[in-house]
A and B are shown apart, each in its own frame.
Chain A
Amino acid sequence: MAVVEIVLEQRDGRWIGRGEGLEAEAPDLFELDELLRRGIEASGRFPAGERVEVFQACDRRMIPPWMRPYHSHYFNRTFAFVVGEEAT
């Protein structure tokens, strides 16, 4: 299984995913996932049928500096798909 690592940011209420030559922006995470999936498939880096895990990590700078001492982790998440298969 291949792993693609993406850094998440939030600007003006929109999610931005960036990393490994990809960049996508969407109003919610599910739409962002779909854009990233399409971007990864279009890049041609992975053959059809390969399972790809997209690891998303929030940039700590999303949390205002004065709040980071209390908690400096927003969230990480992963989603996986098989190249060439329709998303469920």
Chain B
Amino acid sequence: MAASDVNRKWTSGMLSTEDWWAVWLGLLMVLLGLASVFGVDLVGWVTQPRTWIEPGKGFKVAGRAWQGLGPAGGFLVTYLVFTAVTMVGAACMRWNVRKYLCAWTVLYLITWGCWFLGRHARIAAMSNQYETYGITWSLGMGGGGAYLLCLAVGLAIGNLFKRAAAFLREAAKPEWFIKAAIVYLGVKLGVKSMEAAGFAFDIAVAGAAATVVAYLLFWPVSYLICRRLFRMTREWAACLSSGVSVCGVSAAVATGGAIKARTFVPVAVSILVVVCTIFVIVGLPPIFTGTLLDEPMVAGSAVGMTVKTDGGDAATGAILDDMMRAAKAKETPGEVWQEGWILTSAIMTKIWIDMFIGIWAFVLAFLWIYRVERKPGHARPPASEIWFRFPKFVLGYLFAWLVYVLIAAVAPGATGAAKVGAVPVEGAMRHLFFMLTFTSIGVITDFSKLRGIGKPALAYSLMQFLIIPPVALVIAWIFHHGMMPPVAGR
């Protein structure tokens, strides 16, 4: 049996899947960041655009110890380090490394260009920053403008320049990038937990509870609609229900596997998931910002339950985080929420959903054998299925989170030094990988793929746009209402 092509041992896929490589890419930087506890800054070289009015002041090297690099040096070092590290991953995953390098470089430059432009003060500055930049008005989008710009450029390439898109797809890996970014986000949560451990814990518990309710509600409702209203076969109904109500592509594949569906069924559902996600990324943040400014954590959690891919969820959460904080700052001058809590709410809920898919698929496999195929005792799914379906990047996220909680608990005197290495990872590196995710999502989204998937597309759209969001909102409100992000600077 070719070990690299099947999941047989618990270590299977550790060097050959993007999920595991997100863990390695994430943990490498997390561990380098931790060196600051011993007084060495190994991650401060990372450079990112910052809000600017004069282009020359638009780059920022993250670490104090690395300021000597200058903006150009920092940009170059950041590119070289991440190029080298991701190329090792590409080689281990047996991609064409030469094509990857070319595509990565172009993708990186496009992303950086959009990121830099999107940070112009007229786009990004919040109302309390007007004086700093000498301006009287701004779109006040924070980092959201850059995200949308990356997405728009990616979508234009993906749909109007198909040859360029095919070239860039060698390196446009939104799931890899976002999962690595989520590991970096674990650092942010860890640092925040040093200051507000109770609040972080409350978000985690509320997210878990909301997830259980969502599973019990979304799936049966979606299945019934598919069966009764759209007269779909059990095979289609099960895969589509999982795709739209649980966690998108991974749920569709897991369900297809659990019920032994023909592979084209989860493939078609996956196309719907990927394409429809774009509309949610663009649509939900302004709607929630306009209607839920008093309940930002509810909005974040509802995003986690509504958006079906990890990349899409994190993307929507990031835009929502920036939009809501900007709107709040405008509504109540001087009161700016800390960055990242709304995003954390979106991601925490989604992570719970991701983690449960293995258990759900396992249960479904038994239900299918006993209730649908009615062949009990013939064949069974091994319990190892739960592990093979477990999202491994979550391990990196939890490690990054808990290691900082541990530092705060065991060596409170070291928290200041720990933050020196944490800030570049949870800040500039996370932002870089978020931006790469946005561009990549755009590049891989090809609307023309929807052709020929009529009835399932109609059913999916009905549930994704009209049924799931309001129900998700109610569930999120039940478990998250009243929770407010801490105010920055307090």
Binding site for B on A (CB under 8 A): 5, 7, 10, 13, 19, 29-30, 33, 55, 57-64, 66-79, 88
Q: How far is the CB of A32 from chain B (nearest CB, A)?
A: 10
Given contacts A63-B263, A77-B381, 5 further A-B contacts (CB under 8 A): A7-B1, A29-B260, A59-B5, A69-B18, A77-B380
Q: Do A57 and B249 form a contact, CB below 8 Å, given A10-B262, A10-B263, A75-B260?
A: no
Inside 8 A of B378's CB, which chain A residues have their CB? 30, 33, 79, 88
Flag if A13 contacts B13 (CB, 8 Å).
Answer: no
Q: Which of B112-120, B209-217, B383-391, B474-482 contacts A (4 or more CB under 8 A)?
A: B383-391
- CA of A44 to CA of B260, assembled, Å: 30
What 9 A-B pairs come out closest when comparing CB atoms? Answer: A75-B257, A70-B249, A71-B250, A57-B6, A69-B175, A79-B379, A71-B253, A74-B257, A73-B388
Flag if B5 contacts A60 (CB, 8 Å).
Answer: yes
Q: How far is the CB of B213 from chain A (nearest CB, A)?
A: 24
Closest to A74 in B: B257
- CA of A72 to CA of B249, assembled, Å: 10
Q: How far is the CB of A13 from chain B (nearest CB, A)?
A: 6
Q: Do A70 and B175 form a contact, CB below 8 Å, given A7-B1, A76-B381, A88-B377?
A: yes
Q: Does B124 contact A (CB under 8 A)?
A: no
Flag if B309 contacts A33 (CB, 8 Å).
Answer: no
Closest to B256 in A: A74
Identify which of A5, A67, A78 contacts B253 (C-beta below 8 A): A67
Most chain A CB within a 10 A radius of its CB, from B169, B249, B258: B249
Binding site for A on B (CB under 8 A): 1-2, 5-8, 13, 17-19, 169, 173-176, 248-250, 253-254, 256-258, 260, 262-263, 266-267, 270, 309, 365, 375, 377-382, 384-385, 388-389, 444
Inside 8 A of A76's CB, which chain B residues have their CB? 6-8, 381-382, 384-385, 388
- CA of A43 to CA of B359, assembled, Å: 37
- CA of A79 to CA of B377, assembled, Å: 8
Closest to A54 in B: B379
Q: How far is the CB of B392 from chain A (nearest CB, A)?
A: 10
Inside 8 A of A59's CB, which chain B residues have their CB? 2, 5-6
Q: Do A77 and B379 form a contact, CB below 8 Å, given A7-B1, A69-B176, A71-B249?
A: yes
Flag if A7 contacts B365 (CB, 8 Å).
Answer: no
Q: How far is the CB of B379 from chain A (nearest CB, A)?
A: 4
- CA of A20 to CA of B258, assembled, Å: 25
Pairs A–B under 8 Å by Cβ, sample size 30:
A5-B8, A10-B263, A13-B262, A33-B378, A33-B379, A55-B8, A57-B1, A58-B6, A59-B6, A61-B5, A62-B263, A67-B253, A67-B267, A69-B18, A69-B19, A69-B174, A70-B248, A70-B250, A71-B249, A71-B389, A72-B18, A73-B388, A75-B385, A76-B6, A76-B7, A76-B8, A76-B381, A77-B382, A78-B381, A88-B377
Identify which of B13, B173, B253, B380 contacts A74 (C-beta below 8 A): B253
Closest to B308 in A: A70
Inside 8 A of B256's CB, which chain A residues have their CB? 74
